[in-house]
Each structure stands twice: as structure tokens, then as C-alpha cells.
Amino acid sequence: MSATLRNLSLSPNIFSSLTLLLSVSSLFLHSCCSSIDEQGQALLAWKDSLNTSTGVLNSWNPFDSSPCKWFGVHCNSNGNVVEINLKAVALRGPLPSNFQPLKSLKSLILSSTNLTGAIPKAFGDYLELTLIDLSDNSLSGEIPEEICRLRELQNLSLHKNFLEGAIPSGIGNLSGLVYLTLFDNQLSGEIPRSIGSLGRLQIFRAGGNKNLKGELPQEIGSCANLVVLGLAETSISGSLPSSIGKLKRIQTIAIYTALLSGAIPEEIGDCSELQNLYLYQNSISGPIPRRIGELSKLQSLLLWQNSIVGAIPDELGGCTELTVIDLSDNLLTGSIPRSFGKLLKLEELQLSVNQLTGTIPAEITNCTALSHLEVDNNGISGEIPTGIGSLKSLTLFFAWQNNLTGIIPESLSECENLQALDLSYNSLFGSIPKQIFGLQNLTKLLILSNELSGFIPPDIGNCTNLYRLRLNGNRLGGTIPSEIGNLKILNFIDLSNNLLVGGIPLSISGCQNLEFLDIHSNGITGSVPDSLPRSLQYVDVSDNRLTGSLAHRIGSLTELTKLNLAMNQLSGEIPAEILSCSKLQLLNLGDNGFSGEIPKELGQIPALEISLNLSCNQFSGKIPSHFSDLNKLGVLDISHNKLEGSLDALANLQNLVFLNVSFNDFSGELPNTPFFRKLPLSDLASNQGLYIAGGVGTPGVHLAPGGHTRSAMKLFMSVLLSASAVLVLLAIYMLVRARIASHGLMEDDTWEMTLYQKLEFSVDDIVKNLTSANVIGTGSSGVVYRVVLPNGEMIAVKKMWSSEESGAFNSEIQTLGSIRHKNIVRLLGWCSNKNLKLLFYDYLPHGSLSSLLHGAGKGGAEWEARYDVLLGWVREHLASKKDPVDILDSKLRGRADPTMHEMLQTLAVSFLCVSTRVDDRPMMKDVVAMLKEIRHVETVRGEPDLSKGVSLTVVRSSPPPARIVDSQGSSNCSFAFSEDSINY
């Protein structure tokens, strides 16, 4: 043929030659194409519908007589296609709907091929199929009912797609089905009861379908060959059926993060092959069945975050193959079974957040494979077993928030793999064993809020992998060892509320990754070091005895967001270099001896938006004009200084929620803005020459004679007119009162409302929802309602018990209105009339303690939850104290000076505030009054109270406490220890 073509090409008649050539080629192509069998034609037709660009199907050649040698195609000895396997090939396109000619096709594997569209109903025509794997694509639509005609089908894998609708009711017709995987789709409806007809089924996984609901049918017990049952992250509800005990071959039951309720059936003990039982994050109640101890092959038991009650059965110690037990976040009582000492393969034991009592059994030290031991947030007492050093594999030991006593055993230093140790919030005493700091793998050491004494040993410098150190809230003395500078990766250190003395070691500059430094409330002396680590973001050295001036090198701390140097003896001027701290959000220099003018650079710090406290110093001069640029600032306290001039620079600070300029020498007219008009006179007091628009002077102001006469005349006329108006209004009031007396609210009464956030609602929207059905809590000052706004948003509304309680109402506005912190509920606004006083807050849905503390699984806590834990600790700690003297250091007892008298009286007030009887606790206005009686001349400031993540302060009528806005500083306990990151 090629010779003929060559001759034709040499012919002088070019046109005739080309015509003949095309004719011959056409005949050739037709001959070749007609040689491919109908199987190949079907495959080629599907290929044409695809949008693949990889060339992987280039071997699918229409000139071949058979597709048996094509990529991904396999044939039997008769030349019939029996398998198509194109796994992980980028095909991009629809599924084939024309494979009817492939009459011997048994296996169709198209997983991870970027296929889209619906599963064709024509799949029901591929009657010889035994395996269909369409997983990990982007398929949508419903699973066609026609697929249930495939009687030979053994494996149906449709997981990881976007399939919708219900599981076909005819699924039970697939009598040969062994593997059925439908997980990670968008399926809905209930599990068909016909699933009980699948007697050969071994794997059934349908988890990750959030809308899959209903109960697990009793018929599941007929799937006698079932090995894996997976329905996690669905809406499966109801109880586990008792028929589950018929599954004699079941090895894994995974129905976690669902809506299961009721008790675990005793019949679970009949599942003799069970290895993994995952039922966590449900609403399961009742006790752990004792027959679970019959599961001799059980390896993992995860029941955390349920409502399981009762004691942990001793029989569980018979499951000697167990490697993981997690029963945390339940309502378990009783003690930790001693039989756990038989679990020699146990690697993780997690019993956190229950109501367990008793001691940590000594037998637990037999579990030498143990790597995680978590018993925190219980009522466990006694001492830590001295033999705990036998646990050589231990990497994590959490026992915080218990009633542990005794000393920290030295044998802990033998746990050479230990990485995280948290014994906080107990009653441990004695010194910290220096051997612990020889643990080279230790990264987190938290022993805050105990009764530890002694010194911080210099051996701490050997613990070179230490990342987080929290020893605050103890009675540790001595100095901060200079060896701490050896800890190059140390990120967080909190030594606050101890008895430390001496200076801040210069070697701390060696902590190159340090971000959080809190040593407040000690007896630290000397000056603030010139060279602090430049990585610092949070520094609190307040309430110490620091002296000297603030170094110019403070500007090198460019990452700093919060700096608290209050309540020291610092002096000199604020260096202008502080402007370089451009990320600074909070600056507290109150209660020191700083002098000179306030530098203009403070007004040029762009991030300064939480608080600026310069009170109780010796500042002079005028308020810098640059303060007008602090338009994000929420709290400003410049009281008790020697400042002068006008307040015009503050007139446009629209974001202020608290301002105190009292006890200075300001003069001139007060800015005529809504904020200043509502400002309490106590926050303006003792400023000679400062007056309010209209001629009313602030307390302590001496006005000029003419002004005084005019003011007096205006005041007299105002009183006269007001009296006349009152008489007229009183007559009208008496006439209409009878008609409105039945109304709980004076509907024609004028409401005053202030919102701190942009919200769209009216007073009527709030009032009509203040019903008993919406009550979510009560307290000593009011009742809290859940209110749904017209736009669907939820807020919490607190209604004060009495309209007369203006002190508590105003105090709450002043305090919460001045706080910006992620762990403190946000005050959205308030409104009031003569009958009602309402406060608006963010609504925080109620959840379990674990969800508050650990997030979706085990992640960080909101303020109210941490406050409750703290308050419980305080009440328990003070329960045995009959007199304020009992909680004083013995060195202070017997002193009879005015300061001691003042301290004892203040402690007496605090005893009332934490009384176990609600009726005995004073209202906030009463607290303020009592504290004023104690110290009515000098400014009274709140001392910080320890909580988990927030500094709580007693609200006073004087300037805000030194730590009114604090990051998770002074005592952030390790609620989210596994994540253990701080957002400053």
C-alpha cells in the first residue's frame, strides 16, 4: 500500500492523487474503527465525556481490536472486561451510564478521580458487579434505589462525597454485601430496618453524616458477622439497642459525637470480640455496666463527655488488654478502683472532671506502661503515691483542682519522660523537690495555688526544655534564681502572689522566647532591668517594691501589648521611647512616684485601646493634645496627680467607658458631650476651676462671685419652676395611677437606654420577653433572662431585683463597661426607668464544664465558669477560718497599727462576700459603703483575686483597680493544657 501511495504522489495530476489518497485513508480508518468491540466503544464513549488533561488514557486507542491492554482495564481469558481500576487518576467528569455492554464487569474502582454529578440509575444494570468504589470524589444527588438490584454486590464504597437523601430502603436486598461505607457525605433520614437482612455484612460505616437521625434499629443485631459499626458525628439518638449483644464478632463500635441517650445495655458484655468502644460526646446516662468487665479483648474504652453516673466498676480491672480508658467529663462518683493496678498494658487513664473521691491508689504505680494520667477536677484527697516514680513511661500527669495534700514526692523526678506536670489548686505543702528540675523533657510545670514554701532551687536552670512555668499563689520565698536565664525556650513564667524578694535577675534577658512575665504581688526590690527579653508581650510586676526610673530601653520591647508597673515606688519621667511599643494595648503606671509632664508619645501609641492608668503619681502640666488621637481607648485614669489646664483633649474620645480625672488642678468648662454629661461627679472631684456647662461647679470648685450669683439665681428659679411642675404632675399622676397600677411596667414612663454595641431592637422587644419561661439564672442582685431579638440574635438580660438598687446597677455598668477581655462576658448596654433597671450582656449558651474548658472536645473556659471554680475554692478554703486573723501570716499577727486594723476590717468584708449563705452576702453598694467606712480619706483600690484566666476585683467607688483589665495573667490555670497557648 505504501508503494502505491508513493507512485500516486509522483503523478502529475495532483488533484486526482489527493482525492484517491483521502478515499484510501477513509477506508483504512473505517476498517480499524469497526474492529474495536462494543466493550471498547462503550469505554471510548465515556472517555469522550471526561475532561482529563493528563494523558493517562492515551492508551485507550480506537485502532485496537480490544480494550484488554488499555490502562486500568482488566479482562478475563475470554477477552471480557472484568475490572476497571482508575484509582487516583484525575478524570474530571461524570460517571459512566453506558457500561451495559460490559456484561462481565465485576469490579469498578473510580475512587479519588475528581468525578462529579450523580450516580446514574443505569448502575443498576451492571448486574455482575461485586465491587463498586466511588469514594473520595465530588458526587452529588441521591443514592439511586436501582443500585439495590445488584445481588452479587459485596463491596459498596461511596464515602467522602456530597451525596444527599436517605440510605435506600432496599439496601437489605444486597444480601451478599460485606462492606458498606457511606461516611462523610450529607445523607439524611434514618437507617433502614432492612439493614438487618445483611447477614454477611462485616463493615458498616456511615459516620460524618450530620443529618442521619433516628435510633439504631434493633435489627442491627441480625448482622451477625458485623465487625465494625461506625456512626460517629451523626444525629443518631435513643439508646443502644439490647440486640447489640448479638454481635458476637463485633470488634469496634464507634458512635461518638452523636445524640445517644439512656444507659449502655448490660448485653454489651456478650460482645466477646469487642476491642474498641467509642461512645464519647453523647448524652448517655446510667452507670457503666459491670458486665463490661467480661470483655477480655477490650483495648480502648472512650466514654468521655456523657452523663454517666455511679462508681467505676471494679470489674473493669479484668479487661487486661486495655490500653486507653477515658471516662472524663461525666458524673462518676466513688474512688478509683484499686483493680486498675492489674491493667499492665494501660497507656492512658483519663478520669478528669468527675466527682471522684478517695485517693490515688498506690496500685496505679503497677501500670508501668502508663504515659497519660489525668485525674484533675475531682475531689480526690490524700497524698500523691510515693511510688509514682515507677511510671517510667509517664509523659503527662494532671491532678489539679483536687484536695491533694502532703508533699510533692521526689520520686516524680524518676519519671524521666515526663513532659507536662500540673498539680495546681490543691493543698500541697513543703518545698519543690529540686530533682524535678533534672527532668530534661519537662516542658510545662504548673503548681499554682497550693501551700508550697521554701525557695525556687537554682537547679531550675537544668530544665532547659521548660516552656511554661507557673508557681504563683504559693508561699515561696527567697530570690528568683539567676539560673532562670538558662531557659532559652521559656515562653511563660508566673511567680506572682508569693513572698519573693530581691531583684529581677539581669540574666532573665537570656530567656529569648519569653512572652509572658508575671511576678506581681511579691516583695521584689531594685529597678526594672534595662534589658528585658524583646519577645515579651505581657509584663506584670505590679504590687512590689521596685524603685528607680523607667529605662529608655523600654522602647526595645516592640512586641509588648500589656505593661503593668502599678503599686511600686518608681519615679522619674516616662521615657519618650515608649512610643516604640506600638502594640501596647494596656499601660498601668498607677500608684508610683512618676513626675514631670505626661509625654505626648503616649497619645501616639496606635494600639492603646484597653486601659491607660497614670493615677496616684506626681505628674504635672497639661494633658497632651495628642491624647485626642486615643479614639479607641476604653479606660483612662489620671486622677490624683498635679495636672492642670482643660479637658478639651479628651472631648472626642468616643470609645471611653471609664474616665477619672479627680484630685488634680484642672480648670475650664467640662466638654459638653453625652459621655461627660453622664460622668459621676466623684470622677471630677477636687479640681479648682473646673465647671460644668451652665455654671455648676464640680466638688471643691470655687467659682467667681458673679458666676456664683448667677448660678444661685438659676438654681433658685429652677427649683421654683420644678416645684410648680411637680405639683401639676402630681395631680395628673393621682388621676391616672389607678388605670396603670395593674401594669408591672409603667408603659408611659421614659426609658433611658445606652448601648455600647450596634444593636437593632427596642425596649418593647426586651420587656415582652421577660417571662418566667426565659429565666436562665438568678443571683443576689437580679434575675437573668434569655431574650431573642427580632433579627434572631440572642442576648442575656439581667433585671435588677429592686429599682432602688442603683448602687449595684451603676457599679456593674462601671466595672463591666470598662473591661475588654475574651474571658469576661461583654456588657452590651443598659436601660432603665423608674420601675426597672436592665443590663444587656452577650448570651453564652450553657454547656458542660469540659466544653467550656476544652472547647469542642477538650479546648478554653469562659469567665463565668472559671469564676464558679474559683469561688468554690475560696469558700472551701475559708470555710475553716472563723476570724480574718486566721488567714494572716503569723508574722503579721499581734500588730496594732492602723494599717493592720484597716487590713482586718477589709478581710472581714471579704468574708461576707464569699459567705455560703446567699442572704449574708452584701450588695455591691453595701460593699462600697463598708469599704468607705474603713478608709474614707485615701483612695481604696481592689486587690486582685485569683481565678482561672481572669483577675477578679472587688468593685469600689474610687478609681478602677490596678488590674481592672488584665490578660490571662495572674493565674491562668491549664484548662486547655494540650493546646496551652495564650492570646494576649
Query: Residues within the annotated binding site for ATP?
Result: 799
DSSP readout, 735-779?
HHHHHHTT-SS-TTSPPEEEESS-----HHHHHTT-SGGGEEEE-
List Cβ neighbours of 182 (8 Å cut-off, separation of 6 or more). 143, 158, 159, 163, 167, 205, 206, 209
List Cβ neighbours of 899 (8 Å cut-off, separation of 6 or more). none
Point out the annotated binding site. Answer: 799
For 767, half-sphere exposure in the C-beta direction (CA atoms, 13 angstrom radius) is 15
The sign of the CA dihedral 450, 456, 457, 460 is positive
Chain-centre distance for alpha carbon 952: 19
**Distance (Å, rounded) from C-alpha 632 to C-alpha 656?**
8
**Distance (Å, rounded) from C-alpha 717 to C-alpha 712?**
9
CA distances to 245, 365, 432, 714 from 388, rounded to whole Å, are 39, 6, 16, 81
**Distance (Å, rounded) from C-alpha 317 to C-alpha 295?**
11
**Distance (Å, rounded) from C-alpha 271 to C-alpha 405?**
42
- For Cα atoms 57, 59, 63, give the angle at the middle one, nearest 5 degrees: 125
- What residue has cell string 452577650? 842
Q: Considering only CA atoms, which of 355, 472, 446, 453 is closest in space to residue 872?
A: 355
- What residue has cell string 439518638? 237
- Contact by Cβ (8 Å): 99, 75: no
C-alpha cell at 121: 440509575
- For Cα atoms 970, 976, 980, give the angle at the middle one, nearest 5 degrees: 70
Strands (E), 206-357: 211-215, 228-230, 235-238, 252-254, 259-262, 276-278, 283-284, 300-302, 309-311, 324-326, 331-333, 348-350
End-to-end CA distance of the chain: 84
**Distance (Å, rounded) from C-alpha 552 to C-alpha 710?**
51
- Contact by Cβ (8 Å): 167, 182: yes
CA distances to 61, 218, 282, 341 from 269, rounded to whole Å, are 59, 17, 20, 22
Q: Is 756 exposed, middle or buried (0-12, 13-18, 19+ CB in 10 A)?
A: middle
Q: Considering only CA atoms, which of 135, 83, 92 is closest in space to residue 111?
A: 135
Helices and strands (DSSP H and E) totals, the chain: 11, 53
CA distances to 587, 704, 827, 838, 981 from 583, rounded to whole Å, are 11, 45, 25, 36, 19
